């Protein structure tokens, strides 16, 4: 039975205005907010707790595949960007530039930049770290014995975006960036593929977001990459979101920064490279995939609190009786490794708390009132379906364990089914445009493989090629625009 009594009152619905719904949800669910610094967000404790759960799982997966963490400088000398020709065009543009290293008191008492403290060479706040890292790898790699280098960094990066949105596009964001060095091309390619697969596994199994694995077209590739692997997800408004990328960089950075190694046979060769990253953008994907008009919906695998227990009472005696049940249930659930919050604050009423945890997407809510104490029951409410049931206290642990798994699966299934119904094969440019204008979503169409056609489609429809799917079937066809032959459909969508 839907639990409409406690619906959030102030949230715009998705149907009314999806974009407004998203912005309000991020604020109301206490995930993040804009700061006093243009384009930079504050990640609030609840939002950060979800990001920390993402970090924990990803970090474990990276380490299980032999990667180590390290830390490289925030600043990159301007000249480093010029060393890799295609990289400079992609990244040395909209970025934060440090030009001075001192402030001083002005005559009128205000503080001003000290003109005497101008840097000889400007420093760029890292938009990505390939250049500073490959400048370092030159010192670390001499021999095949030093390879592979499998290194990851958790860091903040800055790209001076003009139009920003919380989590989706911000001037500063948090991410991890892996940077690996290998003796052979094959090993580097297989690393890039491995990391794409790890990202897909994480996004599907923890975030409950289904993804399409694929390759970027040349024009959508990372600046400096020979091949960009990606995972693409579909949001509830029919727009795509790139959830992670993994790049095979060839020997471009090794050549730019002169990183060579002696092979077993004593020859000098350039090192092969990959880089790969996911960012706080994943928070945007998580929010937009599962949430509803009542607020956030979190998959249990990433929920900071998987269960919240709310006591309902009118006097001290009732508080003590309901709390005793709550504390015991919390103990039992925690013993099973379940993350449980017992909210015994007396500063807020139960109705307020119900609303709060619905808005914050806590997967399961247990309410315990005086009648429950009498009858030995609790009320259990599911966030994903908004249904509730009464059950005996002794069954709580088993039911909660089962339901958490069920909710995780249900969210994935729901998202996968939405995606299935919003993935359309089209064979003409007219049908292509109609699908984009009406239901949106992924569109699978034949393309002649040229940047010119890709560009024309983008200009005319705002849709881009999200990827050339890796598991796409080979199928002869003709380009929807030029009629030229094509051997595989590619995945188009409007995107975040």
- According to CB under 8 A, which residues from 144 to 163 bind its own copies? 145, 151, 155-156, 158, 160
The least CB distance from residue 136 to its own copies, in Å, is: 5
Asked if 111 is part of the footprint of its own copies (rule: CB under 8 A), the reply reads: yes
User: Tokens for 410?
Assistant: 């249900």
Nearer to its own copies, 145 or 484 (CB): 145
- Cβ–Cβ under 8 Å, residues 227 and 189: yes
The correct pick among 135, 232, 384, 454 for binding its own copies (CB under 8 A) is 135
Nearer to its own copies, 280 or 377 (CB): 280
Nearer to its own copies, 37 or 420 (CB): 37
Q: Which of 203, 414, 401, 385 is CA-nearest to residue 306?
A: 401
The least CB distance from residue 440 to its own copies, in Å, is: 33
The least CB distance from residue 108 to its own copies, in Å, is: 12
The correct pick among 13, 19, 86, 99 for binding its own copies (CB under 8 A) is 99
The correct pick among 23, 24, 61, 113 for binding its own copies (CB under 8 A) is 113
Angle of CA points 436, 460, 19, to nearest 5°: 50
User: Which one-letter DSSP state was computed for residue 144?
Assistant: G
- According to CB under 8 A, which residues from 177 to 206 bind its own copies? none
Q: Which stretch binds its own copies (CB under 8 A): 110-118, 207-215, 248-256, 460-468?
A: 110-118
Neighbours of 339 (CB within 10 A): 18
The correct pick among 8, 50, 54, 95 for binding its own copies (CB under 8 A) is 95
Asked if 97 is part of the footprint of its own copies (rule: CB under 8 A), the reply reads: yes
User: Tokens for 436?
Assistant: 């984009």
- According to CB under 8 A, which residues from 29 to 58 bind its own copies? 33, 35-37, 40-45, 48-49, 52
Q: Which of 483, 455, 338 is CA-nearest to residue 397?
A: 338
How many amino acids of this chain bind its own copies (CB under 8 A)? 62
The correct pick among 96, 397, 399, 416 for binding its own copies (CB under 8 A) is 96
Q: Please report which helix (H) or strand (E) contains residue 248, including its range.
A: strand 240-250
- Cβ–Cβ under 8 Å, residues 441 and 447: no
What secondary structure, in 3-state letters, does 405-427 show? Answer: HHHHHHHHHHHHHHHHHCEEECC
To which residue do tokens 């024009």 refer?
219
Q: Which stretch binds its own copies (CB under 8 A): 131-139, 394-402, 464-472, 479-487?
A: 131-139
Asked if 350 is part of the footprint of its own copies (rule: CB under 8 A), the reply reads: no
What phi, psi does 398 have (nearest 5°)? -65, -45
What phi, psi does 156 have (nearest 5°)? -100, 145
To which residue do tokens 């249990």 refer?
300
Asked if 104 is part of the footprint of its own copies (rule: CB under 8 A), the reply reads: yes
The least CB distance from residue 100 to its own copies, in Å, is: 4
The least CB distance from residue 430 to its own copies, in Å, is: 41
The correct pick among 16, 94, 389, 475 for binding its own copies (CB under 8 A) is 94
Q: Which stretch binds its own copies (CB under 8 A): 15-23, 101-109, 306-314, 316-324?
A: 101-109
What phi, psi does 125 have (nearest 5°)? -70, 125
Pair type for strands 485-493 and 442-446: antiparallel
Nearer to its own copies, 157 or 273 (CB): 157
- Cβ–Cβ under 8 Å, residues 461 and 473: no
Nearer to its own copies, 257 or 492 (CB): 257
Residue 496, helix vs strand vs coil: coil
CA dist 422 to 240, 250, 314, 444, 446, Å? 11, 36, 49, 11, 18
Pair type for strands 442-446 and 423-425: parallel
Rounded CA gap, 132 and 83, in Å? 11
Asked if 174 is part of the footprint of its own copies (rule: CB under 8 A), the reply reads: yes
Q: Which of 325, 329, 411 is CA-nearest to residue 374?
A: 325
Rounded CA gap, 339 and 306, in Å? 5
Asked if 110 is part of the footprint of its own copies (rule: CB under 8 A), the reply reads: yes
Nearer to its own copies, 93 or 334 (CB): 93
The correct pick among 11, 29, 124, 373 for binding its own copies (CB under 8 A) is 124
Rounded CA gap, 99 and 20, in Å? 38
Angle of CA points 462, 282, 229, to nearest 5°: 65
- According to CB under 8 A, which residues from 59 to 88 bind its own copies? 68-78, 80-82, 88
Nearer to its own copies, 230 or 340 (CB): 340
Nearer to its own copies, 99 or 413 (CB): 99
Binding site for its own copies (CB under 8 A): 33, 35-37, 40-45, 48-49, 52, 68-78, 80-82, 88, 92-104, 110-111, 113, 122-125, 132, 135-136, 139, 145, 151, 155-156, 158, 160, 172, 174, 347-348
């Amino acid at each position: 039975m839907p639990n409409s009594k406690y619906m959030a009152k102030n949230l715009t619905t998705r149907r009314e205005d999806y974009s407004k719904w998203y912005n309000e949800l991020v604020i109301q669910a206490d995930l993040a907010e804009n700061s006093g610094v243009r384009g930079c967000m504050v990640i609030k404790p609840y939002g950060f707790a979800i990001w920390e759960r993402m970090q924990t799982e990803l970090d474990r997966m990276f380490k299980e595949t032999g990667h180590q963490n390290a830390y490289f400088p925030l600043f990159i000398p301007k000249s480093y960007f010029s060393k890799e020709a295609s990289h400079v065009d992609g990244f040395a543009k909209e970025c934060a530039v440090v030009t001075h290293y001192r402030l001083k008191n002005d005559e009128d008492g205000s503080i001003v930049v000290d003109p005497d403290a101008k840097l000889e060479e400007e420093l760029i706040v890292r938009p990505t770290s390939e250049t500073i890292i490959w400048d370092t790898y030159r010192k670390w790699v001499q021999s095949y014995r030093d390879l592979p280098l499998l290194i990851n960094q958790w860091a903040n990066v800055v790209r001076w975006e003009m139009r920003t949105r919380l989590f989706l596009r911000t001037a500063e964001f948090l991410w991890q960036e892996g940077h690996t060095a290998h003796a052979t091309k094959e090993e580097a390619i297989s690393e890039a593929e491995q990391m794409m697969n790890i990202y897909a596994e994480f996004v599907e199994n923890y975030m409950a977001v289904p993804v399409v694995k694929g390759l970027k077209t040349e024009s959508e590739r990372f600046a400096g990459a020979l091949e960009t692997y990606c995972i693409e997800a579909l949001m509830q408004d029919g727009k795509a979101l790139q959830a992670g990328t993994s790049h095979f960089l060839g020997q471009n950075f090794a050549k730019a920064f002169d990183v060579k190694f002696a092979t077993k046979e004593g020859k000098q060769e350039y090192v092969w490279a990959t880089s790969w990253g996911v960012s706080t953008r994943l928070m945007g994907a998580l929010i937009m995939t599962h949430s509803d008009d009542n607020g956030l919906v979190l998959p249990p695998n990433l929920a900071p609190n998987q269960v919240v227990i709310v006591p309902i009472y009118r006097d001290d005696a009732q508080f003590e009786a309901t709390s005793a049940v709550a504390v015991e249930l919390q103990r039992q659930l925690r013993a099973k490794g379940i993350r449980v919050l017992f909210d015994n604050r007396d500063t807020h009423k139960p109705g307020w708390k119900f609303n709060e945890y619905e808005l914050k997407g806590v997967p399961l809510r247990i309410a315990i009132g005086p009648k429950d104490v009498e009858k030995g029951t609790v009320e259990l409410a599911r966030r994903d379906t908004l249904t509730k049931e009464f059950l005996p206290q002794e069954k709580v642990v088993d039911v909660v364990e089962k339901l958490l798994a069920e909710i995780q699966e249900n969210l994935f299934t729901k998202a996968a089914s939405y995606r299935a119904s919003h993935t359309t094969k089209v064979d003409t440019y007219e049908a292509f445009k109609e699908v984009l204008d009406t239901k949106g979503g992924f569109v699978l169409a034949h393309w002649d493989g040229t940047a010119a056609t890709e560009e024309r489609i983008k200009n005319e429809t705002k849709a881009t090629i999200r990827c050339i799917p890796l598991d796409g079937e080979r199928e002869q066809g003709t380009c929807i625009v030029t009629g030229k032959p094509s051997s595989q459909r590619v995945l188009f969508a409007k995107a975040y």
